[in-house]
Each structure stands twice: as C-alpha cells, then as structure tokens.
Amino acid sequence: MTPQKNVVEPLVSAIKSSAQKNAASFHFPGHNRGNAAPASMTGLIGRTAFVHDLTVLHELGNLFCPYGPILEAQVEAAKLFGSSHTWFLVGGTTCGIQAAIMSTCSPGQVLILPRNSHISAISALVLSGAVPKYIIPHFLDHWDVAAAITPSQVSKAIQELEMEGKKAAAVFITSPTYHGLCSDLTTISELCHSHKIPLIVDEAHGAHFGFHSKLPKSALHQGADLIVQSTHKVLCSLTQSSMLHMSGNIVDKDKVSRCLRTLQTTSPSFLLLASLDAARAQISENPDSVFNRAIALADEAKRVLKQIPGISVLESSSFPASPAVDPLRLTVGFWNLGLSGSEADEILYKDYEVICELIGNRSITYVLNLGTCREHVHRLVLGIKRLAATHGSISKPEKKMVNNVHAPFDDITMSMIPRDAFFASKRKVAIRESIGEVAGELICPYPPGVPVLIPGEVVTEKIVDYLLHVTSKGAEVNGASDSSLSSILVCGKL
Ligand SMILES: Cc1ncc(COP(=O)(O)O)c(C=O)c1O
C-alpha cells in the first residue's frame, strides 16, 4: 500500500461545516447544538462535542439509505480495507455479527461456529433461529487458552453435516481470537466456497491487520465474505463504532442492509460515525508505517519479558496450528511463579497502576496500540520484573500451581435450539438442582469469558462442578439472572 496524498474525511468535514452554520435549529437532539448541554457533561467533554453531536440532516446523509457524506465515508473505508461494500455500525461489532448471521441463516438452517464464540454470535442464533453446529476449540493446557479454529475442524463439521444430509448456511470463525491467534482463513474460505457456503469472520480484534508487514493478513484479503471489525478496539474510533465489510457476491447485500436497519437505532450518533471516518483517514495517511512504533515497542517488551525467570510470553511457536499471531497482543503467563492471572493483575494494578485488557486463569493479556507510549511499556516491564523477583524467590511454583480450568466442552448435549430455549417459559432452581434440566440462560464466567452453558443445553454435574470451581476462584458471571450462581434459570414451567 502506498501513502495516500490529500486524505479526505467526508463525514468529519460535513459535520464541521454544518456545526459552523448559524442555523435556527428546531430538531433533535434536545441539547440543541450544545445550547442546553448539561454543565457537568461540558465539564467532562467540552461544549464542542455537543455542538457537533448532530443528527440526520440533509447535508450529512442517512446511515440507512446512505447518500452524501456518509456514503462517501463508507466508500473511502471500502477502498482502504479492500471490501466491495462497507457499512458503518453504531452498535459495535455485536450488531454486525448479528446482522451477518441473520442475513445468511434463516430459521432452521445450520450455522457452523466455534463453541467459544463471542456472546453476540449466540444472541444471533436466538435472533435468526439458526441451528448451531459447534466446533470445539483445542486448548493449550499450560496457557489455558483456546487455540484458533483450523481448516480441518471446519472440513470435519461440513462433512458431518453432509453425512446427515444437511448443508451449512454459513460458517462463522473468530480470527484473531482475544489472544491474537489467527486461523488459516485462506484455506477455510476456499473450503467454504468449494461448498458454496459463505464465510463470516469475527475480526473484532483485527481491524489493524494488513497495515504492516509484521501484521497478519486481514480476513478480507484471505477471501472471507462478511467481516466485522471493532474499529474502536484496535484502531482509534469512539467506543461502540465498528465496521462490517463485504466481499464477493455470495451474500445478499440488500439483506445485510435490511438486518442492520432492524438491529440498529434509528438515531445513530454522528459523532460515532464521524469517528469511523477519522479513524480510517488516520490509517490512510500512512498505511504502511502507521504501526511501526507500536510494533517496535511490543517487540522490545516481549524480548525483555522472555528473559525474566518465571515469566512466559505467548508466541506463535506455542500454537503451531495458528499461521499468525497478532504482534500487538502481549499475553504473559505467571504459572511458574505460582500465581494466577488475577493474583498477578492485582499486584500490577495496585503497585504500578498497570491496567490490562484480559485476565486469564494463568495469564494476563495486554493490548498495544497507536497510543501506547514507551514510559507505560517500561512501567509494565518493570512491574513484571519486580513481581517475578519477589514471587520467584518466596514460593515454590509446584506448590501454588493453578489448575487448568477450561470448560468441559466434551459434555455438551443440545436439547433445544438457542432460540426455542430463549423464548421458552423458565423457572429458577438452585444450582445443584439444575443437573439434568435444560439451561434457560447463557452462563459465561469471566475469566475465561467462554460460554459454559448456552440456552437449550442440558446441565450436567461436570458443568455445575466447573462453574462452582471457577466462581470460587473469583470468576464473575455477568448477565446471568443470579450473578452469584446459587441459582440458574432452566426451561420449563413450575
Ligand atoms: C471476539 C469478539 N467478538 C465480538 C465482540 C463484540 O464487539 P463489540 O464490543 O464491538 O460489540 C467482542 C467484544 O469484546 C469480542 O471480543
């Protein structure tokens, strides 16, 4: 890619000129171009943010029948990322994943997906009525981290369906994973296309891919059909703003647009949309070198950390099935010090004010990005050095070794599809009494953030033991009707 001269920002420019007008404003939002903005909020973010918080105006365009600046901004994004069409999203990658699955899978059709997919893919099963065919990921035991899905796992799932006389309506793959592990999407997309099956990629963590020789190739450049990226996670747009890209012609573009209209607010924030335009322009200015500094800092940090006794650094050699690993994800293992991820995090947070992205059972994941500075990387490295010096000398690793605790995926029986279980009547039972019942809600402890029970699956003793074990170790169960997990919702009337 060559640097683009005269990078344009159609939506940012249109919002700027619209806000500069002396308009007699009789439209939403109610703060009236900042005139009635609450003082506590202007104290936080300034009045300027309100002045530019505009709505669907003729000069800005409309997200749901794009014309003018919104259309131009989406076209610029499509050019940079290499899609045939790009949709800007204000409901995060969550709504992009839901739209991608709803537009490819009708009720009763089969979706092949990893069992540890993000919760948005599970809610898409409820919305679409699709029947899941799960791929169970391999786990790398001493990291307790799920590996990326391989082409042979996808091929096996397609073949198993064929043996039952069925065909998948779509394949859904998460690549990279939260830990930055990538799948071989080139082979997976060829495999899917040879069966005329569209490939959807959850690239929430990979919007930066392809913009440096050391970064993995993007899903778009490996033949995927629908790709969803959290621009806000790894590039620099505002939280909640994401992009959905399309390539090829297997997927019905109008159907995707219809699904997005169904799922998203009718009052999209133009600040969020403009931030997508700006984040794209920021990369367009220097697509080949914009990540130089961040990658150099990540390389340096890994080089030093690897030399510290008792500290492990996740590298591609740990996951031979992954053709690439995101160099900007830094996952550090503490098990040789006898520390769990949360024990190490507590020390690094309290003593060094280092805030991580993800806490695992045996590791912590840090994200480096365009805003990462050398001083912060030094602080992280220093904190880990001191932590290793203290804990390496006072504890015998074997004594405090943390057990592998990934979910018992070999124990899954789906008694109802997620949609039917979601809408079925429910009752609350004590956790031990739920054994043998059909789960009525999604139970996903953090860490490790993998759904252990999906609505419609039979609760087993092994699953209950696992849930009680991880919660006793401090895992939180967000979103369950009883976050303490003394009870859960199961399907069926009293
Ligand atoms: C793998 C994965 N997919 C999808 C999402 C949803 O992304 P968003 O927060 O942009 O809705 C997340 C969020 O953490 C994620 O980790």
Same domain, 270 and 373: no
Q: Which of 1, 2, 4 is nearest to 281 (CA)?
A: 4
Q: What is the pLDDT of residue 194?
A: 98
Whether 397 has a pLDDT exceeding 60, the answer reads no
Q: Provide mean pLDDT across the span 171-188.
A: 97
pLDDT band at 477 (very low <50, low <70, confident <90, very high): confident
For residue 230 and ligand 1, the question of a CB distance below 6 A is answered with yes
Report the candidate in 305, 355, 277, 290 with the shortest Cα–Cα distance to residue 88: 277
Domain count, the chain: 3
What percent of the chain has pLDDT above 70? 95
| Stated pTM of the model | 0.96
What average pLDDT score do residues 236-258 get? 97
Query: Is the residue at 177 inside a domain?
Result: yes
What is the average pLDDT across 105-127?
96
Cβ of residue 93 lying under 6 Å from some atom of ligand 1: yes
Mean pLDDT for 258-266 is 97
Residue 31 within a domain: no
126, part of any domain? yes
pLDDT confidence bin for 100, thresholds 50/70/90: very high
Residue pLDDT, tens place only, 13-40: 999 999 999 999 999 999 999 999 999 9
Q: What is the pLDDT of residue 310?
A: 95
Q: Ligand 1 pocket check: which of 120, 182, 359 to mutate, most ligand atoms within 8 Å of Cβ?
A: 120
Residue-range definition of the domain harbouring residue 418: 409-491
Residue whose Cα lies nearest atom 9 of ligand 1: it is 92
pLDDT by residue (tens digit) across 409-443?
A: 877 899 999 999 999 999 999 999 999 999 999 99
As a whole number of angstroms, the distance between CA 362 and CA 103 comes to: 38
- Alpha carbon 343 to its chain's center: 25
Atom of ligand 1 nearest to the CA of 240: 10
**Helix ranges restricted to H, 21-91:** 39-45, 47-51, 68-81
Mean pLDDT rounded to a whole number for the chain: 93
Which CATH number does the domain housing residue 335 bear? 3.90.1150.10
326 lines ligand 1 (CB under 6 A): no
Overall average pLDDT of the 331-351 stretch: 94
CA dihedral 305, 310, 314, 319 (to 10 degrees): 150
At residue 455, the pLDDT reads 95
We report the CATH number of the domain holding residue 229 as 3.40.640.10
